[in-house]
Homo-oligomer: A and B are copies of this chain.
Amino acid sequence: VTDPTKPTLVSGADTRRLLGPWQPPAGEVESEGTWGFADTAFTIDAEGRVLLTGNRYSLAGQPLPNLLPWMRGVMEVDLRADDRHAPHFPPAIPEPVRNAGLETELAGYLRPDQISLDGIQRLRRGHGHTQEEVYNLKHGHWKRIPDLVTFPESDEEVAQLVESAIRHGAVLIPYGGGTNVTDALRCPENEQRTIVSVDMKRMNRIRWIDPVNRLACIEAGAVGRHIVSQLAEHGLMMGHEPDSIEFSTLGGWIATRASGMKKNRYGNIEDIVMDLTAVTAHGALERRQVAPRESVGLEPRQWMFGSEGNLGIITSAVVKLFPLPEVQHYDSLLFKDFSSGVAFMYDLAQAGDWPASARLVDNVQFQFSMALKPASTGFKAWKSKLEKSVVTGVLGYNPNQMVACTLVFEGTREEVARQQALVKRLSKQHGGMPAGGENGARGYQLTFGIAYIRDFVLDHWILAESFETSVPWTQLEGLISRVKQRLLDEHAARKLPGKPFITARVTQIYDTGACVYFYFAYYYKGTPNPTAVYHELENAARDEILKCGGSLSHHHGIGKLRQGFLPQIASPATLAWQAAAKQALDPTNVFGVANQVAPLDASVTPHATDAVKSH
């Protein structure tokens, strides 16, 4: 009795299904000056209630009367609907640095629609979504952006672009979804050469799917949401769901060593990608075989994970597939306080049979998600309702201390039932209360809708940004509370108005530790250079993170934002290796994006006893 939905092994059969070219559905227009789709934005309605436009998100279309009052309370500032810091998009666009020889050569193998000098197009490819970049789109000056945007459609065209750029002394910056929060796309101001953005979006094909060997070959410019929908037509999935999945691309995931929200079940990007091709200054890294696992010496392809555009342009990858789960089930839990929640997450990690996703949000984030509920009543009524609810009233949960955990279960009916039973047992041990599947689904989906809020609050004098780390279990709680305190102290020391908004969640669990994700926002009205101040505060938080045993990044990467911290996490020899490898592998610096790798400093001389003492 074989299950007809399951693939059957036929030895020797060619089980690859070749797929043809593919066009994204019409109507999926991305915004030029803000996050996300053009039809979606937070606004304020006539009655002063916040409203998410469009109909893409569960949050959309319903007035959110509690949000502004709640934020006023938390940030202790007078957030008024009519007090706007009006954005000015587009900003002035710098003139491109032209390179006539290069342009002539490109015209030899690219069609006119594959080359653009358009200012808005160039601007978009010169930024990601750091607080500074987002602010500067509305209020800033742009000294340097890409000079030219190209849209290659094949490996051969990417290879030709690399040759042309080397020949004509230009710089290439690969562009995927533009969703990074590390200043990875920011153009170095002192770059004199012509900067060519290589937009990979037209390399969006799934070339083939092999359901028996559970592999697919996908071009690097394919966008997450399109990969999901196309694979689903075949009953398959890749399982990689970063918060940015709607817009980020396969190539970007590899280049930044991305992590998905369901990594417990499907793995992080390095677990899912079985092989990749990349065009480098030395030619194309590629191979014939796709092995399930190998030991074949130094592996240049592996070096592309986390390379962030420094070493070459990823053009395609062979990824592992999974069958769509028989069952998907959301759930949520409430805990009395953050410590109880962390203890639960630790025990879940130790038990090993993990739900696809388990995330623990702190009290502020819990309150935030409550404030995002489209309550029909006013803020006071809502707050009083919360205070009188069963958990707070009968069970004595303090609304200012309780936290929530959202869970996603995926798998066979049996697996999901088993994991649910485990979660129930462990939750009980830590005084947890079931809070229902609807809240779980809402909590999980909120990630996508909430991404639009930053542009909204920015128009009301609030600068916001997220940053993350990973840390061993015993250091997790201390790290979170010390980072929060450090931000409070730094905020107070600068006499900034109101209170900062600081919240943390545990987003990924591992055997040996977890990923912690912070949101930090502050009210900048009246503060000169608000992005510089944010940067100072964020650096202080990062300094505290490192002191508490956290990593420099769990999945965002380094970019240009965190470069300065590398000497604190890596020994001089490590930095020398990075620089020497960059120089050897990209001798003309054609991939001159200047992310993470500092130029080889003559003062860092090879010396075997230079040592950051470690374990």
Binding site for B on A (CB under 8 A): 1-2, 6-7, 9-15, 155-156, 159-160, 162-163, 166, 207-208, 210, 212-215, 217, 256-259, 268, 274-275, 277, 279-303, 305-308, 310-311, 316, 318, 320, 322, 339, 342-343, 346-347, 350, 353, 415, 418, 429, 469-478, 508, 510-515, 546, 549-558, 566, 568-574, 576-578, 580-585, 587, 595-597, 606-615
Q: Is the beta-carbon distance between B258 and A470 smaller than 8 angstroms?
A: no
Q: Contacts A288-B549, A294-B552, A300-B577 given; 11 further ones with Cβ under 8 A?
A: A6-B350, A215-B512, A280-B608, A283-B606, A285-B574, A286-B574, A295-B553, A295-B558, A300-B581, A302-B303, A584-B584
Nearest-neighbour CB distance to chain B for A466, whole angstroms, equals 14
Contacts A213-B512, A283-B610, A293-B510 given; does A277 touch B615 at CB 8 Å: yes
Contacts A297-B557, A580-B282, A581-B581 given; does A470 touch B612 at CB 8 Å: no
Which of chain B's residues has its CB closest to A587's CB? Answer: B606
* Cβ 8 A contact of A281, one of B472, B574, B608: B608
Q: Is the beta-carbon distance between B285 and A577 smaller than 8 angstroms?
A: yes
Give the top 4 A-B pairs by smallest Cβ distance, nearest first: A283-B573, A292-B513, A292-B510, A291-B551
Nearest-neighbour CB distance to chain B for A417, whole angstroms, equals 12
What is the oligomeric copy number?
Answer: 2
User: For residue A514, which residues in chain B have a CB less than 8 angstroms away from its CB?
Assistant: 292
Q: Is the beta-carbon distance between A318 and B159 smaller than 8 angstroms?
A: no
Nearest-neighbour CB distance to chain B for A474, whole angstroms, equals 5
Which of chain B's residues has its CB closest to A430's CB? Answer: B2
Q: Is the beta-carbon distance between A596 and B298 smaller than 8 angstroms?
A: yes
Q: Is the beta-carbon distance between A12 and B583 smaller than 8 angstroms?
A: no
Residue contacts A-B, CB under 8 angstroms, 22 given:
A7-B350, A9-B343, A9-B473, A9-B474, A11-B476, A11-B478, A12-B475, A12-B477, A210-B474, A256-B295, A279-B608, A283-B576, A284-B611, A285-B577, A287-B569, A287-B614, A290-B615, A292-B512, A295-B553, A298-B306, A303-B577, A320-B512
Nearest-neighbour CB distance to chain B for A141, whole angstroms, equals 28
Contacts A609-B156, A613-B286 given; does A580 touch B574 at CB 8 Å: no
State the CA gap A346–B256 with chains docked (Å).
33
User: For residue A584, which residues in chain B have a CB less than 8 angstroms away from its CB?
Assistant: 580-581, 583-584
User: For residue A569, which residues in chain B have a CB less than 8 angstroms away from its CB?
Assistant: 287-289, 296
User: For residue A508, which residues in chain B have a CB less than 8 angstroms away from its CB?
Assistant: 293
User: For residue A258, which residues in chain B have a CB less than 8 angstroms away from its CB?
Assistant: 295
Nearest-neighbour CB distance to chain B for A510, whole angstroms, equals 4
* Cβ 8 A contact of A163, one of B213, B288, B299, B608: B608
Contacts A293-B259, A470-B291, A554-B291 given; does A283 touch B571 at CB 8 Å: yes
User: For residue A478, which residues in chain B have a CB less than 8 angstroms away from its CB?
Assistant: 11-12
User: For residue A510, which residues in chain B have a CB less than 8 angstroms away from its CB?
Assistant: 292-293
State the CA gap A514–B311 with chains docked (Å).
31
User: For residue A308, which residues in chain B have a CB less than 8 angstroms away from its CB?
Assistant: 297
User: For residue A556, which residues in chain B have a CB less than 8 angstroms away from its CB?
Assistant: 295
- Between A11, A551, A583, the greatest number of chain B beta carbons within 10 A of the residue's beta carbon is seen for A11
State the CA gap A347–B346 with chains docked (Å).
33
Nearest-neighbour CB distance to chain B for A422, whole angstroms, equals 10
- Between A288, A292, A308, the greatest number of chain B beta carbons within 10 A of the residue's beta carbon is seen for A292
Which of chain B's residues has its CB closest to A317's CB? Answer: B615
Q: Is the beta-carbon distance between A303 and B298 smaller than 8 angstroms?
A: yes
